Amino acid sequence: MTETDRAKSPLCPCCSTSDPLQAVVVPPPVSESAFSENKPGPETRTGVVLSPFQLGAVGCLLISTGVIAFGLGVLCGQRNAVPDANRVPQRTTISGRVHDFPEGSVLICLPVNSRPEQKLALAHNSTEELLSDQLPGKQLAAIDGRVSGINSDGRFQIDLIVPGEYFFLCLADGPSSGPDTRTLAQLGRYFLRGNELLKRFQWRWVRKRIDADADFAVVEL
């Protein structure tokens, strides 16, 4: 076969040489499934989804933890407060002068916020009897009260007093009129028959505050 014959031969042996159109090879259609593996999928988010039961359990756990922490805090606070409760209160010494009262007079110191278990019955008829009797002093010491004598200058000194509010009762020999209603009511917190007691003595009833920050206090009555 010559080169001319090869040029005239059809592209495909099955095609006639008389067909003026050349055969066109059309590729088969590509299905969408062929590209499905290369298509980006929808965005996915990672996380944990809890059921209502699980949410309730987590809430109970958080509440329980808070309650336990609160209880431990209260317990620690109480333990820290124990030493303060058992601490011995600060005490001070008071020194002062009772004006216009003679030597041998008696000064009775009574804490405003304390009461004796049994009221004192002072049946003494003189300051000398009162000072020589140790029982009133012991009874008053149980409530942080004190009994003291007054010297020739009208001066006194009382040791180991807990700071706070106090009534001071000054007694000297000699009868007097009874107390007013208010004084009698205050005196009745500590003594039986307070009206009769004051009628047997010259008396003075004063309320004073002893400073908690002082180791030594001066009182004028």
Q: What is the pLDDT of residues 177-213, one digit of tens each?
A: 888 999 999 999 999 988 898 999 999 999 999 887 6
**Coil, helix or strand at residue 33:** helix
Q: What is the pLDDT of residue 49?
A: 64
Supply the mean pLDDT for the chain: 76
Say if residues 116 and 187 touch (Cβ distance below 8 Å): no
Is residue 66 scored above 80 in pLDDT?
no
Query: What is the separation, in whole angstroms, between the first and last Cα of the chain?
Result: 156
Q: Report domain extents, the chain.
A: 92-220
**Residue 127, Cβ neighbours under 10 Å: how many?**
22
Is residue 14 scored above 50 in pLDDT?
no
Question: Going by C-beta distance under 8 Å and a sequence separation of 6 or more, which residues neighbour residue 152?
Answer: 102, 103
Note the pTM of the prediction, 2 decimals. Answer: 0.59
The listed CATH number (3.40.960, 3.40.50, 2.60.40, 1.20.950) that belongs to domain 92-220: 2.60.40
Q: Average pLDDT in the 96-107 region?
A: 92
